[in-house]
A and B are shown apart, each in its own frame.
Chain A
Amino acid sequence: MSGAEAERYSRQVRFAPIGAAGQEAIDRASVGVVGLGALGGVMAEQLARAGVGALRLIDRDLVEFSNLHRQTLYDESDARRRLPKAVAAERRLKRINSRTAIQATVDDLNGSNVEGWLEGLDLVMDGLDNFETRFVLNDACRKARIPWIYTAAVGSYGLVMPVVPDGPCLRCVVGNMPAAGSSPTCDTAGVIAPATAALASVAVAAALRRLTGRLAGGDVRLASIDVWSLRFQTLRPEAELRRACPLCEGGRFDYLHTEPVRAITMCGRNAVQLIPGSRSELDLDTLGRSLEVFGPVESNEFLLRCAAEGFELTLFRDGRAIVRGTEEPSVARAVYSRMVGS
């Protein structure tokens, strides 16, 4: 590291738990960031500023004006041009730290591409907005023995938990993937920037601890943070959880080898049908109330329908959905994740 580079990181190196050896480890590290919204954007920016050697980014979405209050990597110009977030993020991060090698991909991370995407990474940051991809990531990282940092937010609240090879995984704590619509999304319940920035910062602190050799399985804590009611907790997910986990104890990569939601483009109808891999009955009454934030919701005993952001979403009681307004499966999945959750 040159004199100028040493000066650049001098305040971070002076922080004793990192030190010169820690900075060298950070410089050598390759870190992936999945999802480049409010969480992933802050994570990627802080990691680039910290001097991470390489950042691998992936996101399937475009920048929109409704992102700008919390997604700090982007500006009005990005939203006007509807740039893919991965493209806009790469440009911005290169201006922040030209020495960090950035590799950005505009795509959906799923069971078919996740293992290749993980190759060579030391750590993965979770900036996702849905459980479906998180459960795929949890399986794939467990299989490759790559640590990742579960991070999620809604409203003023969220959770952070490092998932390391010798500690509990997401499935140990959450169990099986929650049913679609069982938890609110940022689009239905809202979200504020102080929450996402705080949670992403806690996740990056955990990442720096891991990269500098200071976070092993026994150190794992689940941080529960509410910036509005000022309730901060660190909870201990202990070994007992792993003994009941189908992945950690049973070695079952259930989500890696199945496609939880199958997407079928409905030719000539400008619509995509989404079919969950495992059917679970939706609570249409509760979902209907959540979706009222987007406008009027039509419903009957079999389905409900509402429109938002240029798309029309029809949800059936058996979990199927039709997203009208696109023929792109990744766009339809993103609309479903934002409006229903998964």
Chain B
Amino acid sequence: MVTVYVPSQLRKYCRGATRFPIAADTVQSALGVLEREHAALYRNLCDETGALRGHLNVFVNADHMRDLDGIDTTLAPGDEVTIVPAVSGG
């Protein structure tokens, strides 16, 4: 199991959940699980083509997904996947 952390701005799309334990071996498959089980959240993560929305960054543990293998980054049990939206307020 890996843990996917949901940022506060998107929790309204998954009944306030802060994290999900998910059985997935890549970032892509973790998003697939979210698409099936939390459709409203998924629609705010990915566009109609399935691409991650531009203002979102995904980190696997402390590393940016783009510094690893992108959406195909492999996940090991215990890994933490964190969705970090760009923030503009101040």
A126 at the B interface (CB under 8 A)? yes
Chain B residues with Cβ under 8 A from A238's Cβ?
63-64, 67
B7 at the A interface (CB under 8 A)? yes
Interface size class of chain B, counting residues whose CB lies under 8 Å from the partner chain = 20 to 34
Interface size class of chain A, counting residues whose CB lies under 8 Å from the partner chain = 35 or more
Checking B59, B64, B82, B89 against A184 with a beta-carbon cut-off of 8 angstroms, the contacting residue is B89
Chain B residues with Cβ under 8 A from A182's Cβ?
53-55
A152 at the B interface (CB under 8 A)? yes
In chain A, what residue has the closest Cβ to B7? A157
Q: Which of B76-90 contact A (CB under 8 A)?
A: 82, 84-90
Asked if A157 contacts B8 (CB within 8 A), the reply is yes
A186 at the B interface (CB under 8 A)? yes
Asked if A158 contacts B87 (CB within 8 A), the reply is yes
**Contact flags A25-65 to B (C-beta < 8 A → 1, else 0):** 00000000001011110000000000000000000000000
A85 at the B interface (CB under 8 A)? no
Asked if B66 contacts A134 (CB within 8 A), the reply is no
A178 at the B interface (CB under 8 A)? yes
A10 at the B interface (CB under 8 A)? no
Chain A residues with Cβ under 8 A from B64's Cβ?
173, 235-238, 240-241
Asked if B62 contacts A152 (CB within 8 A), the reply is no
Asked if A157 contacts B9 (CB within 8 A), the reply is yes
A278 at the B interface (CB under 8 A)? no
In chain B, what residue has the closest Cβ to A36? B90
Which residue numbers of B lie inside 8 Å of A, CB to CB?
Answer: 5, 7-9, 18, 53-55, 57, 59, 62-64, 66-67, 82, 84-90
Which residue numbers of A lie inside 8 Å of B, CB to CB?
Answer: 35, 37-40, 126-131, 134, 151-159, 173-176, 178-179, 182-186, 189, 191, 196, 222, 224, 226, 228-229, 231, 233-241, 244, 341-342
